Amino acid sequence: MTTPTHCPTAEQHRGPFCTIVPPYLLQRLAGMQEPPLLDAAGAARHALDQLERIHAQRRGLRGSVPPPVTRTGLTRTISDAGNSETLPGATVRTEGQPPVADAAVDQAYDGLGTTYDFYAAAYGRRSLDGDDLPLDATVHFGQGYDNAFWNGERMVFGDGDGEVFVSFTSALTVIAHELTHGVMQYSANLVYQDQSGALNESVSDVFGVLTEQWIRRQDAASADWLVGAGVFGPRVRGVALRSLKAPGTAFDDPTLGKDPQPAHMDGYVDTTEDSGGVHLNSGIPNHAFYLTATALGGNAWDRAGRIWYDTITSDRLPASADFARFAQETLDVAAARFGADGAEVSAVTDAWQGVGVTPGKSARTAEGPVPG
């Protein structure tokens, strides 16, 4: 039996409620008054309200732990909420059953399996906890629900409003991103606030794109480095929710505005919204990973991905790590695994320098409890 390198306490087992669509996009959409977008605006307002309700519910659940489970290898269960907001919904496909006549069900099933296979093949990790935790997902959550999320126990997918957002099961990077929040929950469990929260989001983006690159057999040079490509509807001028290659360029749309992610500390956003800008400032460590991976070349999951994976599964990384501390840990891990004089250390050093982060020097320290 494999146990996680960094085991969370009973209170830590329940991680933050993590969505793929950041609140700032939903807030922008919720304020739209043009007749063609009234339905989408209503869907965005509902998604924001629902997010607040789940945060409140989960604050009341802090300290509970998941029930015991039987460890039997890859085990997937897909449920259908039937456009309600009641979880888990009716079971519609379980491990080993054939595809059904529902694209969302089969996309979720396949995406969970691909993510499991990626972590197992690349890093020898069996499921989110390293010990074959069953993977559960619910599709068709809500009416036109504009988001997908990890709630600490399962993946939940909305169908989108059909205008600005479409089905969230359509993007493997969305599935792998949210499941990586589960990996984080059972490893470093970075505090979901300020810089440690931005790192939490960034790590999910990193392994989300790596999962897609792995299944497509794309090297660092040929990959698109996009998170959420395909979830925008026909009205949106944009290619994805986020870009690791060029943060701030994923979309530029009259309705949603311009992608606000910074790629360098010069653009760091100090804000109290979105847990201290976790979906915004994640662009900085995202770009550091991209620079590392492209400098090393080849398959990004091999060397750059291994460095980031070793970092989040190390007991040395504090839950409140800021960018500088995380950067230092990646350097230490690179030296330990590949040698202090190797190309890996040089690539990591240059990457963090390229985004304005000095390893080891902590200008900010994330504090406060993990939000419910």
By annotation, the residues acting in catalysis are 178, 279
- Find the helix or strand (DSSP H, E) in which 19 lies: strand 18-19
Closest alpha carbon to 44 in 74, 22, 15, 11: 22
Rounded Cα gap, residues 22 and 215, in angstroms = 26
Neighbours of 336 (CB within 10 A): 13
Query: Dihedral of the CA atoms 171, 176, 181, 182 (nearest 10)?
Result: 130
The token duo for 367 is: 């504090």
Show the 3-state SS of 72-136.
CCCCEEEEECCCCCCCCCEEEEECCCCCCCCHHHHHHHHHHHHHHHHHHHHHCCCCCCCCCCCEE
- Find the helix or strand (DSSP H, E) in which 53 lies: helix 38-59
Contact 79, 138 (CB under 8 A): yes
Rounded Cα gap, residues 126 and 318, in angstroms = 23
Rounded Cα gap, residues 107 and 104, in angstroms = 5
Overall size of the chain counted in residues: 372
The token duo for 283 is: 């662009």
